[in-house]
Structure 1
Amino acid sequence: MTLDELEARCEEVRMEWAQASAAAHDPEALEALRVRFLGRKGSVTSLFDALRALPPDARATAGKLLNALKGEITAALDDRRGALEREAIGARLQAERCDLSLPGTWRPLGRLHPLTQVRLEIEDIFQKLGFDVASGPEVETDYYNFEALAIGADHPARDDWDSFYIEDRLLLRTHTSPVQIRVMKSQPPPVRIVCPGRCYRRDDPDATHSPVFHQIELLWVEKGLTMAHLKWIIGEFVSAFFGPGYEMRFSADFFPFTEPSAQIHIRRPPGDWLEIMGAGMVDPAVLVEVGYDPEEVSGFAFGLGVERMAMLRWGIEDIRLFYQNDIRFLSQF
């Protein structure tokens, strides 16, 4: 092959490249072109093999021609590859484009569980009256759950609390009263606390009983407290939670850790009386147990069920509805 023939062949390869590259519209076709022209057996590569047949004085000129051809095709491949990548990115951006003028998709907002709503409201009422919120462990010792509250191992009142025992002296608390003992043991009087929390008893589930329930207890220990103070605090709570116009009455009852003890009922005349809580003056034996002098201080306590308060407020007749996670029920509150 002469130098003139090599020049002619270079022009043919250029034309061949121009026609073939115009039809390459994707990365796969572009890679096939690279192999066709620049691969080991490609059109440009085969021309370099022809250099050996040229006279020595013509090889430098021929080499420049072939390098220029290879550089043109390589640059064109790079440009075309970049163009295809930009086209692909543009197509993807167009496909994924968000039309900000379209109305948004409404997502329903969550809300607090009705029992949580009631608990927080009750806490707020008593915090405004000067009480602190205290908490304690749900897995409790027999001492804090029973013995420190004047409920000994043989006390018949234990029959009222069918307990979930974890081991001999460890159980799931049956009420939040252990929190009162823990707080009194940790500080001197005065003590003004409310103790909300989850409790456990081995009750068979029915419309009014659940093995898991929520309770809030109040404790006030200070010099000079009497049943009159207890009645005033409960009256303030009833007015704040249920609203004005309710009557309240106390009836005698028994609790091992209060003396005297009472059940509190309310009604809006002419409606029926409804039991809402048990209450009483802290038994002196309990004060002695925590290191307080019953001759110096006195106190009162009461406990109410959060589920009971929610059922009274909204007229719910089955406690199990709170635990079934039925959105149709929960979304009403």
Structure 2
Amino acid sequence: MSAPNKSYDPVEVEALKPEEIERLRDEAIAAFAAATGLDALHEAKVAHTGDRSPLALANREIGALPPAAKAAAGKLVGAARGAVNKALAERRVALEAERDARVLVEEAVDVTLPYDRAPRGGRHPLTTFAERLMDVFTAMGYSVAEGPEVEAEWLNFDALNMGPDHPARSTQDTFFLKDADSVVLRTHTSGVQIRSLLAAAEPPVYVICPGRVFRSDELDATHTPVFNQVELLAVDEGLTMADLKGTLDHMVASLFGEGISTRLRPNYFPFTEPSAEMDMVCFVCRGESVGNPDRPCRTCSSEGWIELGGCGMVNPRVLVACGIDPNKYSGFAFGFGIERMLMFRHNVEDMRDIVEGDVRFTLPFGMEI
């Protein structure tokens, strides 16, 4: 750097000529505008505002000017450097905004996805439906009774007035345990009813008996060798078919909605007398599809009624087998398969979907408690 010279003419200093300062300013601003990223902008900053940049070197030349010329040269260089710094700041803000917008797109996190990879699952609809059914009857004062799935033949058949020659006692219908005398896999939960009567010192007895039962059936769309059944037994003084009918009406109204009623069709069961098949009004068409081709109903096949199961008044012979005086007490009972009820309620067409454990069947039913 040259020493101060009072007679020095600034016009003779090339770096401090106004047109040169303007050129250096414009070059710097153009370099900033051409920068396509923050890294390129940093390189342009070093080249045009660093200690060895043309404007920085020009600023150093001011010190060699005479005092009269320093003010004008300082204003000229200062204005140029101020414009350069302003352009640098504006370009940095613009590039940072572009970077942030790009990061939001390229590094976006979808917060709507599950926070982990473990599915929540769902309770099996058989479980939730059975619990809902139990709630209906416990609210009426019934107790839930359970018993063993491996049952004595006497409890499963003889106590229910099913003689030795009854077809249900053949191996075509019943699983007998090998190397066990008169022991079977229960074919219904009626054995639990017998156990409840035997355990009671004296009626009244009001029990609901859910559980798995076993039949020698092939697995297909409507049958399975293992299924769930629920049976009800009420024994007390003065019970009649009217009590049975009222209980059935309350059950179907609680499960399928108000206005659903039942009907009884005469039938025969050895453990009830009189006996009946229990039907309920179709909960989908409410009977309006009968004789109406314009409104067919797949649920009831346009018959207006859905068959649920058997029922009737407890046969006096069953009461006698359990040590209960049939002249003093009477009772009623009914039973049906829970899978069958579930198929009606949710339009399940294949029973194999219920028992094969595919999570795709269970998940839509959710986590109902």
TM-score normalised per structure 1: 0.67
Structure with the largest fraction of helix? 1
Q: Determine if contact 1:246/1:269 at 8 Å carries over to the other structure.
A: no
Match of 2:126 in 1: 115
Distance (Å, rounded) in 2 between the aligned partners of 1:312 and 1:136: 27
Gaps of 5+ in 2: 1-109, 290-302
Displacement of 1:110 in angstroms is: 2.8
Distance (Å, rounded) in 2 between the aligned partners of 1:259 and 1:235: 20
Match of 2:19 in 1: none
Specify the SS of the correspondent of 1:275: strand
1:183 maps to a residue whose letter is S
Distance (Å, rounded) in 1 between the aligned partners of 2:353 and 2:172: 23
Q: Determine if contact 1:161/1:174 at 8 Å carries over to the other structure.
A: no
Match of 1:323 among 342, 350, 355: 355
Match of 2:211 among 197, 200, 203: 197
Match of 1:270 in 2: 288
2:193 maps to a residue whose letter is Q
Match of 1:242 in 2: 256
Specify the SS of the correspondent of 1:331: helix
Specify the SS of the correspondent of 1:224: coil
Displacement of 1:248 in angstroms is: 2.0
Match of 1:254 among 263, 268, 272: 268
Distance (Å, rounded) in 1 between the aligned partners of 2:185 and 2:248: 28
2:313 maps to a residue whose letter is M
Counterpart check, 1:293 vs 2:304: no
- The alignment of Structure 1 onto Structure 2 pairs a total of residues equal to 232
Counterpart check, 1:221 vs 2:218: no
Displacement of 1:159 in angstroms is: 5.6
Displacement of 1:330 in angstroms is: 1.2
Displacement of 1:106 in angstroms is: 5.9
Counterpart check, 1:171 vs 2:171: no
Match of 2:164 in 1: 153
2:195 maps to a residue whose letter is R
Residues 180-191 of structure 1: matches in 2 within 5 Å? 180-187=193-200, 188-191=202-205
Displacement of 1:153 in angstroms is: 1.1
Q: Kindly tell me: are residues 160 and 226 of structure 1, through their superposed partners in 2, closer, same or farther at Cα, counting changes over 3 Å?
A: farther
Specify the SS of the correspondent of 1:205: coil
Specify the SS of the correspondent of 2:234: strand
Gaps of 5+ in 1: 1-101
Distance (Å, rounded) in 1 between the aligned partners of 2:170 and 2:311: 19
1:315 maps to a residue whose letter is N
Residues 34-113 of structure 1: matches in 2 within 5 Å? 104-105=115-116, 107-113=118-124
Q: Determine if contact 2:249/2:260 at 8 Å carries over to the other structure.
A: no
Displacement of 1:116 in angstroms is: 0.5
2:309 maps to a residue whose letter is M
Match of 1:303 among 331, 335, 360: 335
Q: Determine if contact 1:247/1:269 at 8 Å carries over to the other structure.
A: no
Which structure would you say has the larger Rg? 2
Displacement of 1:157 in angstroms is: 4.9
Distance (Å, rounded) in 2 between the aligned partners of 1:309 and 1:229: 22
Q: Deviation string for 1:165-197 (max 9, x for gaps)?
A: 103411100000000000100112000000000
Distance (Å, rounded) in 1 between the aligned partners of 2:314 and 2:328: 13
